[in-house]
Amino acid sequence: MRRSTRASSTASRLVRGWRLTASVGGTIVVGCVLVALFAPLIAPHDPIEIFSGQLRKPPSLRFLMGTDEVGRDILSRVMYGARVSLRVGLISVGIAAACGSALGLVAGYVGGWTDALVMRLVDIMLAFPGILLAIAIVAVLGPGIDNVMIAVGIEAIPVYVRTVRASTLSVKHNEFVLAAHAIGTPAGGIIWRHILPNVAAPIIVLATLGVGIAILTSAGLSFIGLGAQPPTPEWGSMLATGRTYVRDAPWIAAFPGLAIVIVVLGLNLLGDALREALDPRMRGFEG
Amino acid sequence: MAAYVLKRLALAVPALFGVSLLVFSMSHLVPGDPVAIMLGERATSADMARLRAQLGLDRPLHVQYLDFVGRALHGDLGTSIRTGRPVLQEIAEQFPATLVLTLAAVFLAAVVGVLTGTVAATSGRRLIGGAVMTFVLLGISTPTFFSGLLLIIVFSLYLSWLPVATGGGLAPLVLPSVALGAPAAAVLARVTRSSLLEELRKDYVRTAFAKGLRLDGVVVRHVWKNAMIPVVTILGLQFGGLMAGAVIVESVFARQGLGRYTVNAINARDFPQIQGTVLVVAVAYLFVNLLVDVFYAALDPRIKYR
């Protein structure tokens, strides 16, 4: 009796914790999306407008986050920066999820030499650690935010291939798949209509967490000068120019940096909440 | 054990082949004429023909690839277009600084990550668990170039406790390795926590508790050893990621190393330099993963017999 009471109170605590994580993460992400969508309406100034005589001004009522090294409003640039970062995050995750899931589904369902070929390709891609593959791709395509998007997308493909392939392998021997095969449904139809819906959960979790990682990676590439080029308001490149003035005008680097941390934190919280909701085993030790 | 190491070495060969193929293709996948891009707009057709011949681009592709691999195996990664010096020699000058930074960050991540993960898993207090998980979330959400800048502002500019990059000894290494190692520490803390939690549910732990052992005794003597297998795997994977991540941290702290070298090479479109660096880091990463596999075969004897 006591045991069951304790178990139910633990369960309700977990549900409460999960709801808190999900709602904090969700609020941050929705807030960021709204800022990005309505930046032209809510930003107090044009992000590339230069105010003469207003160089490196600290935060004030006129410029809530201060001005940068050439006299532009940092708040407006941070707001427009949300557009750039979210666009990069969503498109690169879109590239990774679409290509990775397609390859994973085909490799897992078809098997044989197709599977072997795809997995060897994935192994080769995984031999390039972390950001190195993205750097190598940008080196080939040339610096620029669009190329960074492609590079970050390609770099993330292997994770999707592996996860989706593993899920496909466990789903494809289920009776509903065998039944669909028996009534003559073509392989493409089986993959699209029967397997994909059943492997969608891990793809959604990976994609949510992936947007945060993509924003971090692309901001890092912009920080070292390989991504967005001036005067594009991009958080990584804003931080890079701000570092020259950290002693006298730390706000130039601080606000874009905080923007990155808050958005990625929101995406991580939301991704974790989704993962816990979709995979109850992740909910921790209740000793 | 020797058979296992040999098997693992054999498995690295296709990956090495793939890496060499990809690195070789880099200069050929460039949109447009790679020679024109490398030399810039003012190059004459004679300059372009000379560079094309120097790089061997006028020969059939398979000949070029075999030549590339043959030379790489003999330690010849080509000559830099910018400086005219052998690329391997340039990389050898930059590599130690990056390796030292990476090792310092790995060490820091391992110690901080495993300890905080253990505290989070074993502490009955929700406050401690919550604090550790907040550290984990902040650690994985903060980019190294931002935490690096914050560290410089607080510890170098305001408190003047630590130098940014200049000077000898270990002091200039502290801030960059903290910035680089923090996200890895957060990931390791999370993996250690979940791995320990999983082990703590097992029967042998219940037996250890039943015979009267205390929680710390059970964790140190029984659970840690078993829970460390996924931790070692993640640490190995993190090593390569950290070496690549050093590119950005070196740029924040204006440190010498492969990072700045690579960024300069990309901006100058110096392909021999870019290809050389990518090849060296990828091979180093494969080698570290091999070491990790061997290490955890020693940690977990079951792996050798699979």
Q: Look at residue A285 in the predicted model and tell me its pLDDT.
A: 40
Distance CA B151, CA B71 (A): 43
Q: Which domains does chain B possess? A: 2-73 (no CATH), 87-299 (1.10.3720.10)
Average of per-residue pLDDT across A140-149: 89
Using a CB-CB cut-off of 8 Å, the residues of chain A touching B137 are 265, 268-269
Q: Of chain A residues 140-169, which have a CB less than 8 A from chain B?
A: 140-143
Global model pTM greater than 0.90 = no
Q: Look at residue B305 in the predicted model and tell me its pLDDT.
A: 52
Q: Look at residue A279 in the predicted model and tell me its pLDDT.
A: 64
CB nearest to A223's CB, from B16, B145, B262: B145
Nearest Cα to Cα of residue A196 among A175, A220, A215, A172 = A172
Q: What is the pLDDT of residues A154-163, one digit of tens each?
A: 999 999 999 9
A220 inside 8 A of chain B by CB: yes
Q: Look at residue A11 in the predicted model and tell me its pLDDT.
A: 58
The b-or-e profile of B144-183 (16+ CB within 10 A means b, else e) is: bbbbbbbbbbebbeeeeebbbbeeeeeebbbbbbbbbbbb
Average of per-residue pLDDT across B274-300: 83
Q: Of chain A residues 261-280, which have a CB less than 8 A from chain B?
A: 261, 264-265, 268-269
Are the Cβ atoms of A246 and B18 closer than 8 angstroms? no
Q: Look at residue A283 in the predicted model and tell me its pLDDT.
A: 47
Type of residue numbered B153: I
Q: Does ipTM top 0.95?
A: no
B6, B182, B233, B296, B302 from B1: Cα distances, Å: 9, 35, 18, 11, 12
Q: Which domains does chain A possess? A: 34-286 (1.10.3720.10)
Q: Look at residue B303 in the predicted model and tell me its pLDDT.
A: 62
Q: What is the pLDDT of residues B9-45, one digit of tens each?
A: 887 888 888 888 888 888 777 776 777 777 777 778 8
Q: What is the pLDDT of residues B131-152, one digit of tens each?
A: 888 888 888 899 999 999 999 8
Are the Cβ atoms of B146 and A261 closer than 8 angstroms? yes
Using a CB-CB cut-off of 8 Å, the residues of chain A touching B23 are 136
Residue B143 CB: number of other CB atoms within 10 A?
A: 26
Are the Cβ atoms of B143 and A257 closer than 8 angstroms? yes
CB nearest to B141's CB, from A130, A253, A268: A268
- pLDDT of residue B117 exceeding 80, the answer is yes
